[in-house]
Amino acid sequence: MKITRRKTRTVNLGGVKVGSGYPVSIQSMTKTDTMDVAATIAQIKRLENAGCEIVRTAVKDAACCKALARIIKKINIPLEADIHFDYRLALKAMEAGVDGIRLNPGNICKEDEVKKVVKAAARRHIPIRVGVNSGSVKIPRGGISNEELPSLMAEAALDYIKIIEKLGFYDIMVSLKASDVLQTIDAYRLMAKRCDYPFHLGVTAAGPELSGTVKSALGIGILLAEGIGDTIRVSLTGDPVDEVIVGKHIIQGLGLRRFGPEVISCPTCGRTEVDIIGIANRVEEALGRIRDEKGKLSGMRVAVMGCVVNGPGEAREADLGIAAGKGSGFLFIKGKPARKIKESEFVSAIISEINKTLERKA
Ligand code: SF4
């Protein structure tokens, strides 16, 4: 199955092009106090190293904007300012040099205020994300049903976009995040029929690492599989670096981009006679540390299999594979059995073969 992206406009966020003509980009959000410049820079550096392509930072007050000016000088990826309640913070953040602004229609809604932000963004060629959250959407008196919430979110975004478009401004991205997976999917699907702006996808407040990963993979993954979505943020209650790693796995799992070798490992069972869980984790960790800026390892598959039942088959189909036995295993290279190796050498043998591949392709 080939994913056909929904056709959108292109928005340039500090050099990262967002839209259907460009790869789905990965973003995250800092979790430090923005005023703590050193800690925020350090966290953004870790995100850059993990492959984050756009970072967002909370802007709580004017002092944060001053901090942003210092942070921006030290980082290498575009920074989007997350603005709520006070439109003047958006103006100050733009003066500080941010590459994008996120506005929440639920709490910056006076037309004259929105227009001031739009005019400043137009002058500086800075895109605006209309970021609707289910928690801050205005619910009509008398309430609404769960099924009605997605269309209310889409309408809130469309009304806001109308205000922005009146000024001839079209550098717009849209997000419609709910903490409920199906509501999120529904909101984006509805919006996809109503505009051609690029979408920032995410399930908001998805939860801690495990449940948050599953909810994000479902919400973001289902939409991406339908061709909807141009940049993603996995939202986890945890280290933002994990958000980037999970985001990469979602995008790579759908074949939309390749970030490096894919690890295929068996779940283990009563036949397993080596520590496949530990070995697979160590292989994935070691592969994650290899710097492959030119994508030479993209599309490569590395199989770590526990026994001779499915092991040789999977190992043969992968670029590199190990089919384990008791205390040892067979290394397969490009489908051919290469040599017998000891269990203690599994990880080093794979990494050494990967390095040889890198040297060959250099
Ligand atoms: S490959 Fe072998 S050890 Fe792994 S799950 Fe399958 S049967 Fe079990």
Over residues 19-67, the pLDDT tens digits come to: 999 999 999 999 999 999 999 999 999 999 999 999 999 999 999 999 9
Q: What is the CATH number of the domain that holds 342?
A: 3.30.413.10
Q: Which residue's CA is minimally distant from atom 5 of ligand 1? A: 268
Which tokens belong to 193? Answer: 């029929």
Distance 270 CA to ligand 1 centre (A): 8
Does residue 200 sit in the same domain as residue 277?
A: no
Last residue of a domain, one of 236, 253, 270: 253
Give pLDDT, residue 98.
98
Which tokens belong to 317? Answer: 């189909």
Does residue 96 sit in the same domain as residue 37?
A: yes
The tally of CA atoms less than 13 A away on the side-chain side of residue 79 is: 29
Residues spanned by the domain of 283: 262-361
Q: Is 7 in the pocket of ligand 1 (CB under 6 A)?
A: no
Q: Is 270 in the pocket of ligand 1 (CB under 6 A)?
A: no
- Per-residue pLDDT band for 275 (boundaries 50, 70, 90) equals very high
Q: Which residue's CA is minimally distant from atom 2 of ligand 1? A: 307
Does residue 350 sit in the same domain as residue 206?
A: no
Q: Is 150 in the pocket of ligand 1 (CB under 6 A)?
A: no
- Spatial CA neighbour of 18 closest among 257, 219, 197, 222: 197
The alpha helices in the chain, defined as continuous H runs, are: 37-50, 62-74, 87-96, 111-124, 149-165, 181-192, 209-225, 240-253, 276-289, 311-317, 346-361
- Provide the domain count of the chain: 2
Does residue 186 sit in the same domain as residue 330?
A: no
Q: Average per-residue pLDDT in the chain?
A: 93
Element containing residue 12 per DSSP (H, E) = strand 11-13
Q: Is 269 in the pocket of ligand 1 (CB under 6 A)?
A: yes
For the cut 90, the answer to whether the pLDDT of residue 186 exceeds it is yes
Identify the residue with better confidence: 325 or 197.
Answer: 197
Last residue of a domain, one of 253, 286, 316: 253
Q: Is 309 in the pocket of ligand 1 (CB under 6 A)?
A: yes
Q: Please indicate, yes or no, if residue 2 is contained in any of the structural domains.
A: no
Cut 0.95: pTM above it: no
Burial class (CB in 10 A: 0-12, 13-18, 19+), 4: exposed
Which tokens belong to 57? Answer: 């930072």
Spatial separation of the C-alpha atoms in residues 169 and 164, rounded to whole Å: 6
Percent of the chain with pLDDT over 70: 99
For the cut 80, the answer to whether the pLDDT of residue 174 exceeds it is yes
The terminus-to-terminus CA distance of the chain in angstroms comes to 32
Last residue of a domain, one of 232, 253, 274: 253
Does residue 153 sit in the same domain as residue 47?
A: yes
Q: Coil, strand or helix: which one is 332?
A: strand
Does residue 247 sit in the same domain as residue 275?
A: no
Give pLDDT, residue 361.
78
* Amino acid letter, residue 265: S
